[in-house]
Amino acid sequence: MTRVRTFPDAEAVARYAADALAWRIGDARKAGREVHIALAGGTTPRRAYELLADIEGSWKHVHLWLGDERCVPHDHPQSNARMVRESLYANARAEPPSLHELPSPEMAEDAAWLYGLAIAEQVPDTVFDVVLLGMGPDGHTASLFPGHPGLRATRAPCIAVRDSPKPPPERVTLTLAVLRRARHTLLLVTGEDKREALARTLGGDESLPLALLGVGLDEVACDVAAAGGA
C-alpha cells in the first residue's frame, strides 16, 4: 500500500524529502554499511538536495546514482549530474559523497550499457536503498514515458531512450525492474498540473509508468495543489 503524505507547498515537500534521505543515510551509518541512493531530476528534488547538504555532516558511506540522465555533456545546463553538483555539492558541509555520473553521456546505448555494468558491480544485488522519483504532468517518471517500449525491459538495470517526447530526446534511465526492487521508493509531486496524473497513478491506471510499480511505490510526498482528492 502506497503511503501518501500531503504538505502545504513545494518547500515543505522538499524539506520532508531531505529529512527522509538524511534519516536513511544516518541509519546506514549507524549500521556501518554503505548506502546507495538513486536521485531524481527536477525543481523540487533540487531544493531537497540543497536542504540535505546542510543537514548531513558525513558522506563517506554514501553513493549517489542518477535515476535518469540526459545525453548531454556533463557541464550542460540540462545535465542532472550538473544539477546535483550545483545543489548538493555546492552546499555540502563536509566532503561530498560519491556521485556516479553517466560515462560517455553523448552516446546513449554505450552510456546505458556502461552505467548498467557499474550498477551491477557496485550496488549489492542491484537493489538501491532509496530511489527518489519525480513525475511529469503526463505521468512519466525518470525517463520512462507512457507507452514507451522501454517499460517492458525486465533484465537490464538501465536502458537508452532515443525518442523522448520531452527534449532532449536521447536519455538513459533506470528500468521499472530496478525501481521495483528498491528498498524504499519515494515519489515527490508538486503543482496543480500534476494532479490528474497523480490521481490516475494512485488509482492504478497502468497506462502510466508509476502505476506499473504497484506495491513497489512505497511513498508519495505531494503538495496540496497536486493532491486534490488523493
Where does the pLDDT of residue 34 fall: very low under 50, low under 70, confident under 90, or very high at 90 and above?
very high
pLDDT of residue 1: 82
Average model confidence (pLDDT) across the chain: 94
Counting beta carbons within 10 angstroms of the beta carbon of residue 223, is it exposed (0 to 12), middle (13 to 18) or buried (19 or more)? buried
The cell for 206 is: 497502468
The cell for 124 is: 549489492
Q: How far apart are the first and last CA of the chain?
A: 14
pLDDT of residue 56: 76
**Residue 185: CATH number of its domain:** 3.40.50.1360
Check: CB of residue 97 under 8 Å from CB of residue 62: yes
Structural domains counted in the chain: 1
Check: CB of residue 206 under 8 Å from CB of residue 212: yes
Q: Is 0.85 topped by the overall pTM?
A: yes
Percent of residues, the chain, with pLDDT higher than 90: 81
Check: CB of residue 115 under 8 Å from CB of residue 103: yes
Percent of residues, the chain, with pLDDT higher than 70: 99
pLDDT of residue 230: 53
pLDDT of residue 77: 93
Average pLDDT over residues 17-27: 95
Average pLDDT over residues 124-143: 96
Task: List all residues 6 or more positions away from 175 whose beta carbon is below 8 Å from its beta carbon.
Answer: 144, 150, 153, 154, 156, 157, 158, 159
User: Over 70: is that where the pLDDT of 5 sits?
Assistant: yes
Domain that holds residue 202: 3-227
Check: CB of residue 47 under 8 Å from CB of residue 38: no
Would the CA dihedral through 135, 136, 139, 144 be positive or negative? Answer: negative
The cell for 99 is: 556521485
